[in-house]
Structure 1
Amino acid sequence: MLWIYAAIAFGPLVLVALGSFRSNADILQRPVGLPDSLDLGNYLRAWETASVSTYFTNSILVTVGAVALCVAVSATAAYALSRWRFPGRALLAAFFLSGLMIPAKLGLLPVFYMFQSMGLIDTRLGLILLYAASGVPFSIFVIMGFMRGLPTELEEAARLDGAGEGRLFVSVALPLMRPALAVVTVFQFAPTWNDFFYPLVLLRSSDRYTIPVGLTRFFGEFATDRAALFAGLVIALVPLALIFAFATRQIISGLTAGMSR
């Protein structure tokens, strides 16, 4: 059953990859088929002529910035909520986790007016802040669950050696959090990289488009450059494939250690 699922899931990706080496005329005549040769002309046309390089750069800046900010805020908050004892800790944790129950897109209208008043419409910074904030509840949930399952003896030993809270967090807690941070990074990177809705609504200038919105420019009123579109889709898949390939082991260990507690 897993092999059947894998074939269904990877089948469209294989067709897109093969189509990226074919011409538009060949694709129209034979929608499914093998390329005659491994011609990289479609990739060059998509990267240079169709501005995929600009969209790709924008997506990298927005996604990396949002994920880095989200992970930094979530790691510090989750550490404090799971290790420190202070009045209102449970209420504060419930406040953060309540964000999991509210779809972020329901708040688009107030977010739009708030960004408009702050001058963040049609800016990459606005997207970074929005994606980072929307990913904090899930990230805190994962990291808190992971931290609660870890022993506190290492931190107590570091305190006896004179380490302050900052040193504890950087030298002890962060290395222990690595599997959970990998899970959070991947689970925030993928939806942020693939998101089409927020860039479509909040961006106005084509030179600030991220790659999901930018790829729609391959569709014209009278014609569609399918070959270049397939090449652009393959380019868009490369960062996701790389991050999943390098973080698979950390994802599995983080999920099994954090979610089971």
Structure 2
Amino acid sequence: MKTLWIKLLLWGYAVFSMAPLLVMLLSSFRPTADIFDDPLGLPTGPDLGNYAKAWTEASFSTYVVNSLIVVVSAVLLGAAVSLLAAYPLGRRRFAGRGLFAAYFISGMTLPAHLGVLPLFYLLESLGLIDSLLGLILVYAAGSIPFNVFVLTAFFRQLPYELDEAASLDGAGPLATFWHVMLPLVRPAIATVIVFQFVPLWNDFFYPLVLMRDESKLTLPVGLTHFFGEFQNDWGTLFAGLVMTTIPLVVLFVLATRQIVAGLTAGMNR
């Protein structure tokens, strides 16, 4: 009986949480006049005019493409660098390993926004202000401390006999990393990718400070222009919000199993 009540409570919470998203989705197919007349009404038909208007007239396509380029590149670059750092920290014993681990962890203790002024001058000296590449590098560097912390813990959980067996088969450190270790830490990789993708996709601060050209804006900053221009066109606004949410939903659907495996890894060890 207790289990039944817990399930009902969880399903009720899920329905309550999904209700605003459902209203947003349904309203994106409705004309603005209908939304004002009946805010919670249903669409009369699958009208994609709001999506076409948001994609073309509101430069939404530019914001989406910029966000995808920046966030996907930053997440992959940050994960690749973090893997190369976490592997020796988690699998090798060498002098100064604890110091290096503490150095990476210390990056999680300092608010990144406190260093925005020297970061701005550094990027300006490199010619990377108002550049998607500069934003990618900032995001990738900021994700490394957390990624290394999580990935190092996963590498340490793997049996050391795997390294010995690979060495007996003639595999070097790089081959062992690529063919043996990397497939085993896929849940951890999926975890850090999702945990970095979401805040970077929603980040407003760095694009606002580092970007000037409107054609290079990412979605969070672009949405402020979008809301200012279409504040009375609710149908187009809802369509834009749905398109903003779709990449996050797709990512969670594709990576849910790996995320759960990553978060629960080691519980039965």
Q: TM-score, normalised by structure 1?
A: 0.94
1:10-21 equivalent positions in 2, closer than 5 A: 10-21=18-29
Distance 1:260 1:101, change over 3 A: farther
Matching of residue 137 in structure 1 with residue 134 in structure 2? no
Residue pair 2:230, 2:236 contacting (<8 A) in 1 also: no
Which residue, out of 207, 210, 220, partners 2:218?
A: 210
1:32 maps to which residue? 40
Q: State the alpha-carbon separation in 2 of the partners of residues 222 and 256 from structure 1.
A: 44
Q: State the alpha-carbon separation in 2 of the partners of residues 154 and 255 from structure 1.
A: 22
Residue pair 1:131, 1:192 contacting (<8 A) in 2 also: yes
| CA offsets 1:120-154 (integer angstroms, 9 cap, x no match) | 11111111111111111111111111111111212
| CA offsets 1:29-79 (integer angstroms, 9 cap, x no match) | 333322222200000111112111111111110011000111001111110
2:122 maps to which residue? 114
Q: State the alpha-carbon separation in 2 of the partners of residues 157 and 191 from structure 1.
A: 39
1:94 maps to which residue? 102
Question: Tell me, which stretches of 5 or more residues in structure 2 are unaligned?
Answer: 1-8
Amino acid at match of 2:203: D
| CA offsets 1:81-139 (integer angstroms, 9 cap, x no match) | 01111111101101101111112122222211211121111111111111111111111
4+ runs of 1 displaced by more than 6 Å? Answer: none
The alpha carbon displacement at 1:236 in A equals: 1.3
Matching of residue 249 in structure 1 with residue 257 in structure 2? yes
Q: State the alpha-carbon separation in 2 of the partners of residues 97 and 217 from structure 1.
A: 37
Q: What percent of counterpart residues are identical?
A: 58
Amino acid at match of 1:114: L
2:63 maps to which residue? 55
Q: State the alpha-carbon separation in 2 of the partners of residues 2 and 230 from structure 1.
A: 27
RMSD: 1.8
Residue pair 1:145, 1:258 contacting (<8 A) in 2 also: no
Residue pair 1:143, 1:258 contacting (<8 A) in 2 also: no
Distance 1:14 1:44, change over 3 A: same
Distance 1:228 1:109, change over 3 A: same
Q: State the alpha-carbon separation in 1 of the partners of residues 230 and 166 from structure 2.
A: 67
The alpha carbon displacement at 1:237 in A equals: 1.2
Q: Between Structure 1 and Structure 2, how many residues are aligned?
A: 261
Residue pair 1:142, 1:259 contacting (<8 A) in 2 also: no
Q: State the alpha-carbon separation in 2 of the partners of residues 260 and 76 from structure 1.
A: 27
